[in-house]
Amino acid sequence: MAAEIPDRIKVLWFLPTHGDSRYLGTSEGGRAVDLDYLTQVAQAADTLGFYGVLLPTGRSCEDSWVVASALAPLTKRLRFLVAVRPGLQSPTLAARMTATLDRISNGRLLINVVTGGDPLENKGDGIFLPHAERYEVTQEFLQVYKRLLSGETVEHEGRHFHIEDGRLLFPPVQSPYPPLYFGGSSDAGSTVAAQEIDKYLTWGEPPADVESKLNGVRKLADKAGRKLSFGIRLHVIARETTEEAWAAADRLISRLDDETIASAQKVFARMDSVGQARMSALHGGDRSKLEISPNLWAGVGLVRGGAGTALVGDPATIAERINEYRRLGIDTFILSGYPHLEEAYRFGELVLPNLPTDHAVKAAGTNVNTGPFGETIAGDHRPKSLASAS
C-alpha cells in the first residue's frame, strides 16, 4: 500500500530512568539518574522544543508514572509517553491513573501500551502467560480501557477481565482519551495495533525492512476499517562532522568487552519478543558488522535491549535519514543518545531546527541582540552573528 507522506513530524526525546552513561556496558562514565538529573533532561527537552519524552518501563527502570508525575509540574509544554501494562494493571485502575495524570499535566499525557517480551521478567511480575495469550490480554484490556476513558459505564465479562459498573468519575482532559502508542512486530502484535491503536511504533531497522513492516500493518488496519499513524524509535549520534560522529560511536562502545556482549545477547535470546529478535539479528553480536544501512549503526544493541540502532552523522545527513523514514509514512520520531542531557542539546541545536516539525522548536542561536547567545568576549562585547553552518 502507498504511504501517505506526512508534511510535518513530531520529535520526542527519552528519559533514561534505567541509567545513563558516556560508555556502554561499563560503570565507567556512569551517571546517577536521580530526580535532579532527570529534571535536567526533561527541562532541556522542554526548552529545546521536543514534543515529548518517552519513559521506559520494566524492572530495570524507575516507575514511569511516578517519575512523570514528579516532572510534569517542572515542565511547561513537554508531553510524557508513559506505559500502561496489560496483565499488570486492571483496565479500570489504569484508566483512573491515565485520567488523573492527564488532568494534573493539563493534557500532556501520551500512553505507551506495553505487553512485555521477556518471559523471565514477566514471571517476576506474576505473569505466566505465553506470547499469544499476552496479546489476547492486551486487546481485551484496551477494549475496556478505551470505553472507560471515553465516558462509558462498562459491564464486561471476557476471558481475562470481568468488570461490573466500571466507570470514571473524573474524565481525562484529552478526548476521548490520550493517544495510544504501541509496538509489536509479531503477527499478534500487528493485529492488536491494527484494531486498537492510534500510533504504531517500530524500532530502527533499515528503511526497506521498516517499509515492509509498516505496509503489513497498514493492510491489517485497512481490513479492520481503520487508519493508523506511525512512529519510530531510534538513538542518534549527531556531531558537526560525520567523522566526529563515527568517532563518538566508536567511543561509546570502546569499553565494551566480548564477555559483556555475550552475556547481553544471552539475555536477549531467552525473550519471545519478535521485535527483539529482529534487533539482535541486525548484528548477531558481532561488533565488526554494525553499520547495517547508510548511517544506521547497530552498536547500541550489542548490550541494550529494545531500540538498538542509532543514526550517526553530521546534521544534514541525520536530517536526510529522518526524512527517508518520513517518506515511508512515519510522522513521529522518538530519539535518544548518550549521555542523554548532552545529546539532547547536540541534536536539539544541530538537527532539530532543520526538521519539518509540527511543534515549535528553539531556533538556532544566531540573533545576538535578544539574549546571551555565546559567551561574552573578554567580558566586554558579544560575539558576532554568523549564519548557521548546519
Q: Domains (ranges, CATH) in the chain?
A: 10-354 (3.20.20.30)
Summarize pLDDT for 152-210 with one digit per residue, the tens. Answer: 999 999 999 999 999 999 999 999 999 999 998 899 999 999 999 999 999 999 999 99
**pLDDT for the residue 346:** 98
Nearest alpha carbon to residue 325 among 195, 236, 238, 194: 236
Question: What pairing do the DSSP bridges indicate for beta strands 291-293 and 229-238?
Answer: unpaired
pLDDT of residue 388: 46
Question: CA distances (Å), 220 to each of 2, 191, 228, in order?
Answer: 14, 7, 10
State the Cα–Cα distance between residues 153 and 147, nearest whole angstrom.
Answer: 8
Would you say the pTM of this structure is higher than 0.95? no
- Return the higher-pLDDT residue of 280 and 390: 280
Query: What confidence score (pLDDT) does residue 123 get?
Result: 85
d(CA 259, CA 257): 6
The chain-wide mean pLDDT, for the chain, equals: 92
- What does the buried/exposed string (b/e) look like for 239-276 if buried means 16 or more CB atoms within 10 Å of the residue's CB? beebeebbebbeebbebbeeebbeebbeebeebbbbbb
pLDDT digits (tens, 9 = 90+) for 263-301: 988 888 888 788 888 988 888 888 888 999 999 999 999
**Confidence at residue 97, expressed as pLDDT on a 0 to 100 scale:** 98
End-to-end, the C-alpha distance of the chain in Å comes to: 35
